[in-house]
Amino acid sequence: MKKLRILAKYLFIAVFCGVIGLSFLVYNLFSTRFSTDKHENRLRTQLPQTLQSDPRQLPQTLNLFMEDNAPFRFQLTWVNAQLDYALFGTSQSKKVLPGKDGWFFYKENEPEARPLARYQGRTDTLDSLAVLAQSSAKLQVIHDRLAEAGCTLVLDMTPDKARIYREYLPAGYPLVSEQNRTDRMVAYMQSHTTLPVNWRYSLLRSQARLHPERLLYYKADGHWNALGALLGLDGVLEELNLPTRLPTEYTVKPVGTMTGDMAYATSLYDSVPDETCWEVENYAALFSADSRSVRVFGDSFGEEYIPYLQCRFAAARWERLENFDASLLDNPDCQILILECNERNLDKLLDIVENF
């Protein structure tokens, strides 16, 4: 009997190792069919990287390598994600919070971002008066220096999706105050500087409620769509005393579909419906051409401005927010400079301004 138990143990170990080994073999033989490259939004840990790591970190990096390259990892993760979402309405992602009616939002995965706490207007997310005064003074100096170089600066704060479509958040995130961190900062700058500041939260929120069929943000993506971007940009153009249209006067047409980044982050890209991409019809014919050039320094929200700006101005280009530095003050290489920042990235903007 004892020999049989020992034999059974060895047999179990052999079968276990055989299954694991066979799974690696099958997976690699048919790697093109099982490939997950199109579903990964990051570089997976590679074997050379693992073997060249610090010996003290080898167990950790080896574990990461196994997690990233385990056979059928994607397929098993996908099944688990479907069950979590369908049965419990939860997400595997540390970054994404499923809401109501197929909406997704960023959650409190990063202490410095805290998008939901800031949406709620919690007092511990507000900046002190000293920070407001210092940042406003720096931005005023930047504005004045650019004006001396023949360039008009507009500060453009773009609202997060959770504020515009708050009714789709899951229960448990009540508003503490209607005035959040961004509202407070914008109000301070508008009353203490001559800097043009665009903050279209009220308009976007009212349009989202009045016309729920005309979505301004994607349901399963962190960004606004072409219509939301245009309504945001119109606020910048109005700060420049340029003509715009009423939101309902823009006609949009579908130009394809897309799968949102949050759908990928939660491994739900096959079960969350693709979303319609819109285009504003005949935008180039709505306004007279402007001979000036525009530079946008911002995040991906500001990047969405470029097709519209290129229709209206002689030249327009987008650059990352972190590329905005003091060298631009004497040579802005444009007549209009839009400094755009989504409220999730406000800390990044304040850090950049601090360097001036």
Please, are residues 342 and 301 in contact by the beta-carbon 8 Å criterion? yes
Q: Is the pLDDT of residue 215 over 80?
A: yes
pTM: 0.79
Dist. CA 296–CA 302, nearest whole Å: 7
Distance CA 160, CA 168 (A): 13
List, for residues 334-348, the tens digit of each pLDDT value: 999 999 999 999 999
Contact partners, residue 97, CB within 8 Å, separation at least 6: 91, 104, 105, 106, 107, 116, 169, 170
What distance lies between CA 127 and its chain's CA centroid? 22
Residues 6+ apart with CB under 8 A from 132: 184, 185, 188, 189, 192
Has residue 5 got a pLDDT over 80? no
Q: Which of 136, 32, 41 is nearest to 93 (CA)?
A: 41
Of 149, 137, 131, the closest CA to residue 347 belongs to 131
For 42-96, how does the pLDDT look when each residue is reduced to its tens digit (9 = 90+)? 556 555 565 566 667 666 766 566 555 555 555 555 555 565 665 556 677 788 8
Contacts of 100 (CB under 8 A, 6+ apart): 167, 168, 169, 170
- In angstroms, the CA 318 to CA 300 distance is 9
Amino acid found at 46? Q
Examine the pLDDT at 262 and tell me if it is beyond 70: yes
Strand partners, 199: 157
Q: What are the C-alpha distances in Å from 183 to residues 19, 71, 290, 305?
A: 58, 49, 31, 22
pLDDT for the residue numbered 29: 47
Q: What are the structural domain ranges in the chain?
A: 128-260+275-354
pLDDT digits (tens, 9 = 90+) for 293-315: 999 999 999 999 999 999 999 99
pLDDT for residue 22 is more than 80: no
Q: Tokens 């179990």 sit at which residue?
A: 12
Q: Please check whether residue 225 is in contact with residue 268, taking contact to mean a CB–CB distance below 8 angstroms.
A: no
| Model confidence pLDDT, tens digit, residues 183-201 | 999 999 999 999 999 999 9
Query: Which residue type does 132 have?
Result: L
Q: 3-class SS at 308?
A: helix
Is 80 exceeded by the pLDDT of residue 124? yes
